[in-house]
Structure 1
Amino acid sequence: MPVLLGDKLVIAISSRALFDLDESHRVYEQEGLEAYRLYQIEREDTPLDRGEAFTLVEKLLRINQLLDGETRVEVVLLSRNSADTGLRVFNSIQHYNLNITRAAFAGGRSPFTYIPAFGCHLFLSTHAEDVRSTLEAGFAAATILPAKRPREQRDELRIAFDGDAVLFSDESEQVFQREGLAAFQASELASAREPLRGGPFKPFLAALNRIQSEFPNGDCPIRTALFTARSAPAHERVIRTLREWNIRLDESLFLGGLDKSEFLRAFGADLFFDDQEGHCQRAVGFVPTGHVPHGISNLKSRG
C-alpha cells in the first residue's frame, strides 16, 4: 500500500535555501555545469554550511519529537541538482541529523512540478522563477532572501505573515492601489462583515493551526503572528475573516503603515512572509524573510 503524506504538514525546500551553496553556485556561473559537478563530487564528504532556512527546518522537524515521535511534519528536498551532484546535499542532511528522507532532483530543470504530487503546503527556494511558478499553480511559496545574520537560539518556532496578497487575497490591495487610502478604508468599512477570500498562505496557516491544536494551551512550540499595514477601521474585516475561517493567529499587529522591521525583531520571527519587495528588503535586516511574488504589487514590478 503506498505511503500518503496528506495528513501531515509538508514543507518543500530547495537545497540553496537549506544550505549555503553560494560558493558552489559561483563555480557553476563562472565555469559551467561540468566544473560544478566535479566541484561537488570532490567535496561530497564535506558538509555544507547552514543556509537561511536551516533553523526553520530544524525547528519544524523538532515538532515530531515533541509529539512522541509521531511524524506530523515532513520536509521534502526539491532541487535543480542531479542526484549525482545532490549527493553532497544528502550527506550534509545526514551530518546535521535532519530527518529528511524524500527528495526530487530535477537535473537542471525546475522541480516545482512535483509539489502537487508531494502534497506540499509550502515551498521555500532562492530561485524566484520557481517560486512564481509555484504560486501560479496555487501553492504557497516564497523566495528566501539572503541576510547572513546570527541565528536565534530558541526552541519555539515563530512565523509571521503579512495580510493582503499573503494570507488573504489581494482584492483589498487592488482598491488601495487604484483609488488610494481613503477609498480602501471606506471599502473595508462597508465590507467589514464580508470575509476576504483566501490568499496563497491560507492552507499553510490552517495546517500549522491543526498542529498547534495537538498541544496543550501554553505548551505549544509554534507561535504565529499577523503583521499588517492595516489599521482601524480596516481591522474588523480581517478579524471577522479569520473567525469565519476558524483559523487562529497568536498575535495580530495592525500597524497603520508603520515600518514592520522593529516589530518583527521584537516578535523574534524565524521567518516573515510579505508580498512587497520593499517591505522584505527592510525586514531582512532584522529577521529571516521570504518574498511572496503574488498579487497586484508584483504584477506592477514585473511590468
Structure 2
Amino acid sequence: MPVTLEADLVVALSSRTLFDLEHSHAVFERDGVEAYSLYQIEREAEPLNPGVAFPLVRKLLRLNEGRERPLVEVILLSRNSADTGLRIFNSVEYHGLAITRAAFTNGAPPWRYVEPFGADLFLSADARDVAAALQAGYAAAALVPSAVAESPSDEIRIAFDGDAVLFSDEAERVFRERGLDAFQAAERSAAHEPLSGGPFKNFLDALQRIQAAFPIDDSPIRTGLVTARGAPAHERVIRTLREWGIRIDEALFLGGMDKTPFLRAFGADMFFDDQRGHVERAASAVATGHVPHGVANEAADEGNSERLEGAGQNP
C-alpha cells in the first residue's frame, strides 16, 4: 500500500528559503545553469548555512519528537536537479532536520507538487512560483531577506495580516476605491456579516488542529493577528473568526501604526502580509513573507498605495 502523509500540518518550501543559497543563486544568474551545477557539485560536502525559514522549520519539526505519528511534515520543493540537490539533502542531514521527501524539478515550476503532497503552506524565494500557487488556491508566500534570530523559546509564534491574507480583500477594495470614511462605514454596517476566507485561512485551520491536541494554556503554537485596522473596523474581524470557530491567541488592531515594533514584541517566528510596505519594514525585525494577493498587488501606482497606507487604518 502507498504511504500517505498523516501529519496535521504539511509545509512545503524551496531550498532557497531553508538554506542560504544567495551566493549560489548569484552564480546561476551570472554564469548560467552549467556553472551553477558545477559549483554545487564541487561543494556538495560543504553544508549550507541556515536561511530565512530555517528557525521556523526546526521548531516545527521539534513538535514530532517522541511521537509515533508526526504532527508536522516538511517537504522540499526545489528547482534544483537531483544532482545539485544532493548538497541540499547533505545539508539537511548535517543540521539534523527530519526531512525525507523532496521534489527536484530541474528548473520547472515546483509549486505543482503542492497538491500531491497535500501541503497546507508553500514558502519560496521565487515570486513567480508563489503567485502561481496563490492563483491555484494554495497558501503561499515569497520570503524576503529578513533579520532572523531564532528565539530561545521552543514556542512557535506565527503572525498574520488580516485582509487579503486571512480574509478576502473585499473590505480593502472598498478602502482603496472609496477611501477611509467609506471603509469604516461599510465595516460598521457589515459588522455581523462574516468576511470570506483569504488564502491563509486553511493554513490557520491546520495550525489550530495542532493547537487542539494540547491544553489551551500549554500549546506549543501561538498565533497573532496584526492588522492596521482599528475601531470600528475591528468588530467584523472578531465576529468572522468566531463564525469560523478559529482561535487567534493575540489580536493587535493598530489603527495604521507601524507593525514592526509590535511584531518584535510578539516575537514572531514568521509574519505574513500582502502589502510590500509592511513587508519591507517588518523584515528588519522578523522573518517575513510577502503574500502577492488581492487589490494591493493589483495596483499599478505603488506611490499611491503608500500614500493611502499612511492615511490611517489601511486594512
Shorter-chain TM band = over 0.9
* Secondary structure, aligned partner of 1:211: helix
Q: Deviations over 1:174-197 (max 9, x none)?
A: 000000011001101111111000
Q: Which amino acid aligns with 2:15?
A: S
**SS of aligned partner of 1:97:** coil
Judge conservation of contact 2:273–2:291 (CA < 8 Å) in 1. yes
Task: Render the CA deviation track for 1:255-301: whole Å, top value 9, x for unaligned.
Answer: 11111000000000000000000000011101110000000000114
How far apart, CA to CA, are the structure 1 residues paired with 2:175 and 2:158? 26
Query: Does structure 2 conserve the Cα–Cα contact (< 8 Å) formed by 1:6 and 1:119?
Result: no
Structure 2 SS opposite 1:132: helix
Report the residue type matching 1:70 in the other structure.
R
Spell out the pairing of 1:134-173 with structure 2 (5 A cutoff).
Answer: 134-173=133-172
1:5 equivalenced with 2:10 (yes/no): no
For residues 1-303 of structure 1, what are the structure 2 equivalents within 5 Å? 1-5=1-5, 8-65=8-65, 68-301=67-300
Deviation at 1:27, TM superposition (A): 1.1
How far apart are residue 69 of structure 1 and its match?
Answer: 4.2
Q: Aligned residues, how many? A: 302
C-alpha change, 1:302 and 1:35, in structure 2 (3 Å) is farther
Q: What do residues 8-55 of structure 1 show as CA deviations (whole Å, max 9, x unaligned)?
A: 311000000000001111111111111111111111111000000000
Check whether the contact 2:234–2:253 (CA below 8 A) recurs between aligned residues: yes
In the TM superposition, what is the alpha-carbon distance from 1:233 to its structure 2 partner? 1.0
2-structure distance, mates of 1:292, 1:201: 9
Distance 2:68 2:91 in 1: 22
Runs of 4+ deviating beyond 6 Å: none
Following the alignment from structure 2 to structure 1, what is the Cα–Cα distance between the partners of residues 33 and 45?
A: 20
1:103 aligned partner, one-letter code: A
Summarize deviations over 1:74-129 as a string: whole Å, max 9, x none.
00000000000000000100111111111000111110111111111100011011
Distance 2:7 2:284 in 1: 35
Q: Is the 8 A contact 1:209 1:248 kept in 2?
A: yes
How far is the alpha carbon of 1:150 from its aligned partner? 3.4
DSSP 3-state at the match of 2:187: helix
Q: Deviations over 1:152-189 (max 9, x none)?
A: 32211100000000000000000000000110011011
SS across alignment from 2:299: helix
Task: Give, in whole Å, the separation in 1 of the partners of 2:93 and 2:285.
Answer: 30
Given that 1:13 and 1:124 are in contact with CA atoms closer than 8 Å, whether structure 2 keeps it comes out as yes
SS at match of 1:176: helix
SS in 1 for 2:195: coil
Q: TM-score, normalised by structure 1?
A: 0.97
- Relative to structure 1, the CA distance from residue 256 to residue 20 in structure 2 (aligned partners, 3 Å threshold; closer, same or farther) is same
Q: Over aligned residue pairs, what C-alpha RMSD do you find?
A: 1.3
Kept after mapping to 1: 8 A contact 2:160/2:166: yes
Structure 2 unmatched runs, 5+: 303-315
Could you give the per-residue CA deviations for residues 239-270 of structure 1, whole angstroms, max 9, x where no partner exists? 11001100000000011111100000000000
Give the Cα–Cα distance (whole angstroms) in 2 for the partners of residues 204 and 60 of structure 1.
14
Change (3 A) 1:6 1:136: farther
Question: How far is 1:6 from its partner?
Answer: 5.8
* CA separation of 1:5 and 1:301: change in aligned 2, threshold 3 A: farther
Give me the whole-angstrom Cα distance separating, in 1, the residues matched to 2:301 and 2:140: 17
Contact 2:274–2:294 (CA under 8 A) maintained in structure 1: yes
* Residues 253-262 or 69-78, more deviating: 69-78
Partners of 2:301 and 2:87 lie apart in 1 by: 35
What is the deviation of 1:302? 8.8
Aligned match of 2:305: none
Letter aligned with residue 50 of structure 2: R
TM-score, L = length of structure 2: 0.93
Q: Aligned partners of 1:7, 1:126: CA distance in 2, in Å?
A: 25
